[in-house]
Every structure is written in structure tokens, then in C-alpha cells.
Amino acid sequence: MLITISGVRKEVKDGISVTELIVSENVESPEYVSVSVNDDFVLREAFDTTVLKEGDTVELLYFMGGGKGCQ
């Protein structure tokens, strides 16, 4: 089936879960990734049970701290 992952259309197996997608996309630090499906955030506890469907749009988001300090 075709889904969009971070703006790129990709073919994935039918019935793939968010957890399986994270593995198949070789996410380096899966413990730091947040996932949205069709603009709705998926709770980490639901990664295993959230099954993707044809045409879904998935964003793999990494939140990082840092920036320029105040002086």
C-alpha cells in the first residue's frame, strides 16, 4: 500500500503498525521520535496497535533542545 512518510510517497506492507514503520525506516533514536498520522499525534503506548492504512500521511518528528543562550 502507498503512504506518505515525511513528505515522501512510499510503498509499505499492508497492515503495518507505527512500530514496524519506525523499524523499517531505520529510525536511529526511536525513543526520541514522535509520530503523527494524518495530523493526529499517536501516543507512544499506541505505536504497536496503530495500524496504518492506504493513503495515510505519517510524520516522524524529532524534538531537540538547544539554541542560543541569553546573554
DSSP code for 47: T
> What is residue 36's predicted lDDT score, i.e. its pLDDT?
98
> What is residue 71's predicted lDDT score, i.e. its pLDDT?
53
All structural domains of the chain with their residue ranges: 2-62
42 compared with 66, residue with greater pLDDT: 42
Q: What gap in Å lies between CA 37 and CA 59, rounded to an integer?
A: 7
> What is residue 62's predicted lDDT score, i.e. its pLDDT?
85
Element (H, E) at 21: helix 18-24
Asked whether the predicted pLDDT for residue 3 surpasses 60, the reply is yes
CA distances from 67 to 31, 64, 70 (A): 22, 9, 10
> What is residue 34's predicted lDDT score, i.e. its pLDDT?
96
> What is residue 44's predicted lDDT score, i.e. its pLDDT?
96
| Among the listed residues 67, 51, 60, 53, the one whose alpha carbon sits nearest the alpha carbon of residue 7 | 60
CATH 3.40.50.620 fits 2-62, yes or no: no
User: How does pLDDT run across 29-55, given as a tens digit for each residue?
Assistant: 899 999 999 999 999 999 999 999 999
